[in-house]
A and B are shown apart, each in its own frame.
Chain A
Amino acid sequence: MLLIVEDLAVARGGIALLEAVAFTLAPGQALILRGPNGIGKTTLLRAIAGLQPPLRGRVDLPADGAAYAGHADGLKATLTVAENLAFWARIYGQRDTAAAIAAMDLGALADRPAQNLSAGQKRRLGLARLLVTGRMLWLLDEPTVSLDAASVAMFAAAVRAHLAAGGAALMATHIDLGLAEAATLDLSPFRAKGPVTGPGGIADPFDAAFA
Chain B
Amino acid sequence: MPALLLRDLRLATRAGGGFGLSLAFFLIVTVLVPFGVGPEGGTLGRIAPGILWVGALLSCLLSLDRIFALDREDGSLDLLATAPIPLEGVVAVKAAAHWLTTGLPLTLAAPVLGVLLNLPEAAFGWLALSLMLGTPALSMIGTFGAALTVGLKRGGLLLSLLVLPLYIPTLIFGAEAAKRGAEGLAAGTPHLMLAGITAGSVAILPFAAAAAIRVNLR
Q: Give the interface of A toward B (CB within 8 A).
A: 46, 49-53, 64-79, 83, 87-88, 90-93, 129, 200
Which of these, B11, B74, B80, B217, contacts A73 with CB under 8 Å?
B74
What residues on B are CB-neighbors of A78 within 8 Å? Answer: 11, 14-17
Measured CB to CB, the nearest residue on chain B to A134 is B84
Give Cα A74–Cα B74 distance, bound, in whole angstroms.
Answer: 5
Q: Is B3 positioned at the interface, with any CB of A under 8 Å from its CB?
A: yes
> How does the 8 Å CB contact mask read for B1-40 relative to A, with 1 for contact and 0 for none?
0111001001100111100000000000000000000000
Whether B82 pairs with A79 at a CB distance below 8 angstroms is no
> Known contacts A49-B82, A64-B84, A66-B82: does B74 contact A79 (CB below 8 Å)?
no
Whether B84 pairs with A92 at a CB distance below 8 angstroms is yes
Nearest-neighbour CB distance to chain A for B97, whole angstroms, equals: 13
What residues on B are CB-neighbors of A50 within 8 Å? Answer: 81-82
Contact sample, A vs B, 19 pairs, CB 8 Å cutoff: A51-B78, A51-B218, A52-B218, A67-B82, A68-B82, A69-B79, A70-B78, A72-B74, A74-B74, A74-B75, A75-B76, A78-B11, A78-B14, A87-B3, A88-B79, A91-B3, A91-B85, A92-B83, A93-B84
What residues on B are CB-neighbors of A64 within 8 Å? Answer: 84
Q: Which of A65, A71, A87 has the most CB of B within 10 A?
A: A87
Whether B74 pairs with A75 at a CB distance below 8 angstroms is yes
Whether B11 pairs with A76 at a CB distance below 8 angstroms is yes
What residues on A are CB-neighbors of B73 within 8 Å? Answer: 72
Whether B217 pairs with A52 at a CB distance below 8 angstroms is yes
Give Cα A75–Cα B78 distance, bound, in whole angstroms.
Answer: 12
Nearest-neighbour CB distance to chain A for B99, whole angstroms, equals: 20
Give Cα A79–Cα B2 distance, bound, in whole angstroms.
Answer: 17
Give Cα A46–Cα B10 distance, bound, in whole angstroms.
Answer: 30
Whether A73 pairs with B82 at a CB distance below 8 angstroms is no
Which of these, B74, B85, B217, contacts A51 with CB under 8 Å?
B217
Nearest-neighbour CB distance to chain A for B93, whole angstroms, equals: 11
Nearest-neighbour CB distance to chain A for B83, whole angstroms, equals: 5
Which of these, A75, A91, A200, contacts B4 with CB under 8 Å?
A91
> Known contacts A49-B82, A78-B15: does B7 contact A87 (CB below 8 Å)?
yes
> Known contacts A72-B74, A74-B74, A76-B74: does B17 contact A65 (CB below 8 Å)?
no
What residues on A are CB-neighbors of B78 within 8 Å? Answer: 46, 51, 68, 70, 72, 74
Nearest-neighbour CB distance to chain A for B104, whole angstroms, equals: 21
Whether A51 pairs with B16 at a CB distance below 8 angstroms is no
Give Cα A60–Cα B158 distance, bound, in whole angstroms.
Answer: 38
Give Cα A195–Cα B135 distance, bound, in whole angstroms.
Answer: 48
Whether A79 pairs with B84 at a CB distance below 8 angstroms is no
Whether A79 pairs with B218 at a CB distance below 8 angstroms is no
What residues on A are CB-neighbors of B218 within 8 Å? Answer: 51-53, 200
Whether A73 pairs with B75 at a CB distance below 8 angstroms is yes
Whether B7 pairs with A76 at a CB distance below 8 angstroms is yes
What residues on A are CB-neighbors of B7 within 8 Å? Answer: 76, 79, 83, 87
Whether B217 pairs with A68 at a CB distance below 8 angstroms is no
Nearest-neighbour CB distance to chain A for B121, whole angstroms, equals: 42
Whether A68 pairs with B79 at a CB distance below 8 angstroms is yes
5 new A-B contacts, CB < 8 A, other than A52-B218, A83-B7, A91-B3, are A72-B75, A72-B78, A73-B74, A74-B74, A90-B2
> How does the 8 Å CB contact mask read for B187-209 relative to A, with 1 for contact and 0 for none?
00000000000000000000000
Nearest-neighbour CB distance to chain B for A3, whole angstroms, equals: 14
Measured CB to CB, the nearest residue on chain A to B73 is A72
Q: Which of A75, A76, A83 has the most CB of B within 10 A?
A: A76
Whether B84 pairs with A74 at a CB distance below 8 angstroms is no
Which of these, B16, B17, B80, contacts A91 with CB under 8 Å?
B80
> How does the 8 Å CB contact mask read for B59-96 relative to A, with 1 for contact and 0 for none?
00000000000000111101111111100000000000
What residues on A are CB-neighbors of B80 within 8 Å? Answer: 74, 91
Whether A79 pairs with B11 at a CB distance below 8 angstroms is yes
Whether B10 pairs with A79 at a CB distance below 8 angstroms is yes
Give Cα A75–Cα B4 distance, bound, in whole angstroms.
Answer: 13
